[in-house]
Structure 1
Amino acid sequence: MKKIINTENAPAAIGPYVQGVDLGNMLFASGQIPLDPVTGKMSDCVKEQAKQSLANVKAIITAAGYQVSDIVKTTIFLADMNDFAAVNAIYEAFFTEHHAGFPARSCVQVARIPKDAKVEIEVIAVK
């Protein structure tokens, strides 16, 4: 049974999509840009943006009853591949902090991210 996931602990969708879709044992979380869900603002620092994007992802998976350790696939979109090392360090710390193994991952540079963010992260989680 398909369940739509929405939480106030992550930014609301800024287009015709939902924060996540839970299929019961598999969750697809939409790409999260680094908007603070309370203020609607984002830092200019790519490291802070990566932290906020991951916090938003965590809020969505938590709202659906999943844990960070349930994440099996991530996709990272970067506005500038020169930020790869900085984002990678934040990403590694996030999964290490949550005692989760590292999921499969893709990381690509894109021409532009909504709201001119420097990073966007989407995940798939499985129970």
Structure 2
Amino acid sequence: MTDHIATEKAPAAIGPYVQARIAGGLLFVSGQLPIDPATGSFAGTDAPAQAGQSLTNIAAIADAAGTSLGKAVKMTVYVIDLSQFKAVNEVYAGFFQAPFPARTTVEVSALPLGASVEIDAIIAL
């Protein structure tokens, strides 16, 4: 298997990085913005809609690597407004079943391209 993953079912990297790398039996997924790969635009303007698209992108990358969100070990959610935590959490919960992955959620001052949410992941192969 290659050491990096690239799929057209998720947006291309917007800088000098890859969608994901494989190392030590794990898939390290780069931060996924809420870009719909079919349109090249953000999926929605609010944090919950954007979180859903970011997770959809991660799921597509995981699938391309032969794994799934169900094997996620660690997720990091970056939001520009922590008051949206509950709404983002509701969307996030729809993508996972117990046992849930470990997770960190942090508020940041800004995200690339003006996104409200960005999510990265570590997923077992």
TM beyond 0.5 = yes
Q: How high is the TM-score relative to the length of structure 2?
A: 0.94
The corresponding residue for 1:107 is 105
Which stretches of structure 1, 4 residues or more, deviate above 6 A after TM superposition?
Answer: none
- Matched residues in 1 for 2:11 and 2:39: separation? 9
Q: String of CA shifts for 1:87-106, please: whole Å, max 9, x gaps.
A: 0000111113xxx5210000
Paired with 1:8 and 1:61, the residues of 2 have a C-alpha distance of 13
Partner of 2:59: 58
Q: Which runs of 5+ in 1 are unaligned?
A: none
For 1:125, the equivalent position in structure 2 comes to 123
Paired residues, number? 124
Q: Is the 8 A contact 2:75 2:104 kept in 1?
A: yes
Structure 1 length-normalised TM = 0.92
> Is 1:20 aligned with 2:25?
no
- Per-residue deviation, residues 45-72 of structure 1 (Å, max 9, x unmatched): 2211111000000011110011111100
What RMSD, in angstroms, separates the aligned Cα atoms of the two structures?
Answer: 1.4
Residue 36 of structure 2 is aligned to residue 36 of structure 1: yes
Shift of 1:24: 5.7
| Structure 2 portions without partners, runs of 5+ | none
Q: Distance in 1 between matches of 2:56 and 2:94?
A: 12
- The residue type paired with residue 58 of structure 1 is A
